[in-house]
Amino acid sequence: MIDRIRILHISSSRSWGGAEMAAVKLANNFALRGHEVIFAAHPKSRIIKELENTDVDVIPINYIRHFDPVTVIKLMKIIKDRQIDVIHCHLSRDLVHLYWVTVLSRSLPIILDKQVSSGVSKKGIIHKMIYAKVSKVFVLSTYLAKNVLDTCPVTNDKVVVIPGGIRLEDYNIPEGVRGILRSHWQLPSNEIVFGTVSRIDRQKGLEDLVRAFALLCAKYKSIKLVIVGEPTYGEPEYANELTNIIKELGVEDKVILPGFRSDIPRVLSAFDIFVLPSYSESFGYVFIEALSARLPVIATNAGGVPDIIENEVCGLLVPPMDRQSLYDAMERFLTNDALRKQFGSAGRKRVKDNFLESEILDKIEREYLNLIERRV
């Protein structure tokens, strides 16, 4: 039985979103479990900065998007020098390098971690050759599992649904923190605060949220909206557009845009209702965070969201791009304190029953060991 697994994580991403955060968190968690973890990341990636002061050994590799023999040689050297047991790849585009690594050196178990869906079919001869080297595909939701089977040349036995996990204790925030944050954002204690945490991206439905909120403001005075997040990497235009819409609607004194924050459990403690009307979500880890914070949730019945939010139990699911349904759901929670508390308690229980980090990590560890032992 292997006690210490040598894991190589690979990502050429320079963005910073849910997929990158999940990769960093996973690598760090396995290092804390006593495994040897190496992360080969782009030198300009935020992944490198986020893994500073952890037990993860970070190696910068200047990936070229399609194919770079220098990258292949560097990866081969890491695998040989560190005697890697398993490779965990976080972007499908990086598989081309791993294909040549396995052709030119020893074959290793390769896990592809799919955090987002794809509309592009990858079932041609080249993709079949590349995906033949993939041992398992980890996906976050049943929606993503179907998408992978529809678009990638893999069989059902290779696809494993492993949702994101969370430490519930991180969301037991002292009561005084809520007041401190509200005071910082000038949110009176008697106001109901709608809040969201998201990249500032058109696909997140933030314009729909702002417009539905503006309609509520015409009827209800003691409400505020807090949108926490930064623009998608390389796409600042939409953030400017959203700011202009807020001004045009005359609710700039009602909407707070604090930018990026890393202290999400503390941020959520300042909210009363969590709302994120995305047009599509492969999973939506932030919904698990909101449920952990005992917040009632409003989301869309799109993609993998229904895997997390049980409609009419811990949240309200509305159709994407349906501003009237979004308005109705927001008003329903706004006007019913008992319902907010009921759904908040149910959400916390749902996380405890389905999304505990320790249990998710155990499952991933078993998958690693099974692949390694099968190879041996």
pTM for the model: 0.85
Each residue's pLDDT tens digit, 171-218: 999 989 999 999 999 999 999 999 999 999 999 999 999 999 999 999
Task: Choose among 260, 254, 271: nearest CA to 182.
Answer: 271
Q: How far is CA 234 from CA 14, 16, 122, 295, 342, in A?
A: 10, 11, 26, 32, 40
93: left (phi over 0), alpha (psi -120 to 50) or beta: alpha
What does the pLDDT read at residue 119?
82
CA distance 204 to 194: 15
Tens digit of each residue's pLDDT (9 = 90 or more) over 316-349: 999 999 999 999 999 999 999 999 999 999 999 9
Domains 6-165+356-375 and 168-354 share a fold: yes
Tell which residue, 338, 342, 316, 311, has the closest CA to residue 329. Answer: 316
The residue to which tokens 């519930």 are assigned: 168
Residue 376 has pLDDT above 70, yes or no: no
- Does residue 168 surpass a pLDDT of 90? yes
DSSP class per residue in 141-190: SHHHHHHHHHHSS--GGGEEE----B-GGGG---HHHHHHHHHHTT--TT
73-105 pLDDT, tens digit each: 999 999 999 999 999 999 999 999 999 999 888
Stretch 22-41: mean pLDDT: 96
Q: Of 204, 270, 255, whose CA–CA distance to 231 is shortest?
A: 204
pLDDT score for 227: 98
Looking at domain 6-165+356-375, its CATH class is: alpha beta
Q: Which helix (H) or strand (E) holds 209?
A: helix 206-217
Can you give the residue ranges of every domain in the chain? 6-165+356-375, 168-354
Under the banding of pLDDT at 50, 70 and 90, the label for residue 15 is confident
The tokens for 194 are 């709608």
pLDDT of 236 strictly over 90: no
Lowest mean pLDDT of 42-46, 232-236, 365-369, name the range.
Answer: 232-236
Token pair belonging to 9: 């994580």
Query: Is the pLDDT assigned to residue 124 strictly greater than 60?
Result: yes
Whole-number pLDDT of residue 63: 79
Residue 1 predicted with pLDDT over 70: no
Taking residues 355-369, what's their average pLDDT? 96
Residue 275's pLDDT is 98
CATH number of 168-354, picked from 2.40.50.140, 3.40.50.2000, 3.30.70.1450, 3.40.710.10: 3.40.50.2000
Q: Is the pLDDT of residue 361 over 90?
A: yes
| pLDDT score recorded for residue 65 | 64
* pLDDT confidence of residue 282: 86
**Mean per-residue pLDDT of the chain:** 94
